Amino acid sequence: MNGVLLVISGPSGAGKSSLIKELLSSVPDSIFSISTTTRGVRAGEKEGVNYYYVSKEEFEEGIKQEIFLEWAKVHENYYGTSLRPIVEFLKEGKVVILDIDVQGHKIAMEKFHKFITSVFVTTSSHTILKQRLIDRKTDSKEIIEKRLNSAVLEMAHMNDYDYIIINDDFKEATKEIVSIASVAKNRTKKLDLEKFISKWLES
């Protein structure tokens, strides 16, 4: 397997989804790993595009059958990444983008650490994050407070990641994350060096 897992984590509202869209349009052979969740569908979301939406019972059966690379329970909902497509994408040499939380990152690192480049995305302040959550108008005040409390806990894990992006200037953040993806693709430990050198000598 010579693909790359690009793990992107960070508080809800930090702009991960927007950065992922830019990655998919800018980085060749990149593909988004669609997670499975038990939470409801938000306005504008589609089955098989944003998430695979399942019942709590279906998800828990998947846990028993060990079909997930990683999974976590966040705000009373399950989120998880199916293992089989990840392996196939890595065999195809893809840059596989995973939007997972800090719990998921820890589990993924235990299984696939040599394929992972990780990025933590956040804002420069708690105030900016709170305003973004309010502006997107998808959550109640109670849920926003839960997300902000979770953000504090997530920030404590920033040093577990290879890179940190402060997403206050979207254009600059986009440049940074595209550069990180490019570097990850070309790390020598991902190359079949013996095959490369043999081909290099013949040409």
The domain limits of the chain are 4-202
Residue 50 confidence (pLDDT): 85
Q: Which residues pair with 80 in a beta bridge?
A: 36, 71
Answer yes or no: are the C-beta atoms of 10 and 154 closer than 8 Å: yes
CATH number of 4-202: 3.40.50.300
Note whether 119 and 165 are within 8 A (CB): yes
| pTM attached to this predicted model | 0.82
Which residue(s) pair with 99 in the sheet? 8
Residue position matching structure tokens 């990152």:
105
The SS3 call for residue 13 is coil
pLDDT digits (tens, 9 = 90+) for 12-59: 999 999 999 999 999 999 999 998 999 999 888 889 888 999 999 999
